[in-house]
Amino acid sequence: MAADQTTLQLGRSLFTAEASPPCAVCHTLADAGASGSVGPDLDALKPSAERVTAAVRGGIGVMPAFEALTEEQVSAISEYVSMVAGSR
């Protein structure tokens, strides 16, 4: 499924700021200007959208589950990360 610009922008703003705590605090993702090093470098991992969704919904290791995010928000983050990871 090709993500449209609105979805990508929503995903990016959730990644960098709106998710609590923001993904960018812990992860490196060049497209988002993020250089966190607590979790894996997502540009190197290049996770599928399904893999991002599983991590965000359920949490993994010290990464918390993001229970406050809506379906739409989780899907936007997942589309965004899987689209841009490793692209820069």
For residue 86, give every residue at least 6 positions away whose Cβ sits within 8 Å of its Cβ, in sequence order, or none.
Answer: 43, 44, 46
Identify whether the C-beta of residue 77 lies closer than 8 Å to the C-beta of residue 84: no
Among 47, 57, 83, 86, binds ligand HEC (CB under 6 A): 47
Q: Determine the size of the site formed for ligand HEC (CB under 6 A).
A: 22
Check binding of 19 to ligand HEC (CB under 6 A): yes
Minimal distance, residue 5 CB to ligand HEC, in Å: 19
Residue 34 binds ligand HEC (CB under 6 A): no
Applying CB under 6 A, among 7, 10, 27, 76 the residue interacting with ligand HEC is 27
Paired tokens of 38: 């607590």
Give the CA-trace dihedral at 65, 70, 74, 76, to 10 degrees: -160
Q: Is 8 near ligand HEC (CB under 6 A)?
A: no
Count of alpha carbons within 13 Å of 33, Cβ hemisphere only? 5
66 binds ligand HEC (CB under 6 A): yes
Q: Is 52 in the site for ligand HEC (CB under 6 A)?
A: yes
